[in-house]
């Protein structure tokens, strides 16, 4: 009986060592697909203050199970009570959730001036084309001021299935809240 127990123990140790060696030489690759509740299409409409400029974002963000996201939005800048400049933006990047923190990294961004309101007068895209021709300078876009690969951190304050409340960590001013609503 003692020989059987000893043999059983040796087999268990041998199998354990074999499994350990296999795990070392053939590590399991991380799952390329995420299953977080944030996967889907979300709408949001929020504003915040940055250095005296009110910034408003109204758009849609799609989070995919492969850790990628796309954003399409109108982003407005209001430096004073008489001026509002609005850009149509399209961006793509990576996302990850760690504990209760959503971290996004913007890989690409494209923006075009959509309209400008100055003292009640509305200027559209055709007016921007004319301004570029007259000044012989291209109008600045948001990507001119955004570093490629910039990351943003959000604390997930409320994590319901169809509604998320995020606190955006703002390194240039006060943190602000974003409410997102599930579209799909």
- The pLDDT tens digits for 76-110 are 999 998 999 999 999 999 999 998 999 999 999 99
**CA atoms of 184 and 182, how far apart (whole Å):** 6
Contacts of 114 (CB under 8 A, 6+ apart): 74, 86, 87, 88, 124, 125
- The pLDDT tens digits for 124-144 are 777 777 777 787 877 788 888
3-class DSSP state of 19: helix
pTM of the shown model? 0.76
- Average pLDDT along the chain: 84
- The pLDDT tens digits for 12-51 are 555 545 555 645 555 554 444 566 889 999 999 999 988 8
> What sections of the chain are H helices per DSSP?
2-25, 125-135
As given in the structure block, the two tokens for residue 18 are: 């074999």
- The pLDDT tens digits for 138-182 are 778 888 888 888 999 999 999 999 999 999 998 878 899 999 999
What per-residue confidence (pLDDT) applies to 95?
96
- The pLDDT tens digits for 41-83 are 999 999 998 888 899 999 999 999 999 999 999 999 999 989 9
Angle at the Cα of 42 (from 116 to 60), degrees rounded to 5? 25
Q: Contact at 8 Å (CB) between 40 and 63? A: yes
What per-residue confidence (pLDDT) applies to 29?
47
Q: Region 117-123: what's the mean pLDDT?
A: 87
Q: Contact at 8 Å (CB) between 86 and 47? A: no
Dihedral, 65, 71, 72, 78 alpha carbons, nearest 10: 160
């Amino acid at each position: 009986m003692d020989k059987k127990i000893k043999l059983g123990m040796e087999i268990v140790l041998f199998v354990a060592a074999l499994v350990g060696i296999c795990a070392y030489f053939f590590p399991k690759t991380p799952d390329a697909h995420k299953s977080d509740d944030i996967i889907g299409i979300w709408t949001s409409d929020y504003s915040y203050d940055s250095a005296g400029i009110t910034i408003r974002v109204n758009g849609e963000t799609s989070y995919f199970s492969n850790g990628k996201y796309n954003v399409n939005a109108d982003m407005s800048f209001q430096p004073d009570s008489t001026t509002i400049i609005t850009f149509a933006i399209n961006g793509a990047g990576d996302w990850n959730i760690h504990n209760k923190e959503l971290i996004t990294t913007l890989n690409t961004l494209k923006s075009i001036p959509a309209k400008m309101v100055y003292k009640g007068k509305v200027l559209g895209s055709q007016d921007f084309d004319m301004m570029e021709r007259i000044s012989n300078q291209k109008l600045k876009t948001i990507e001119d001021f955004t570093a490629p690969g910039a990351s943003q951190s959000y604390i997930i304050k409320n994590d319901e299935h169809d509604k998320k409340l995020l606190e955006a960590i703002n390194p240039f001013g006060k943190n602000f809240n974003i409410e997102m609503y599930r579209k799909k």
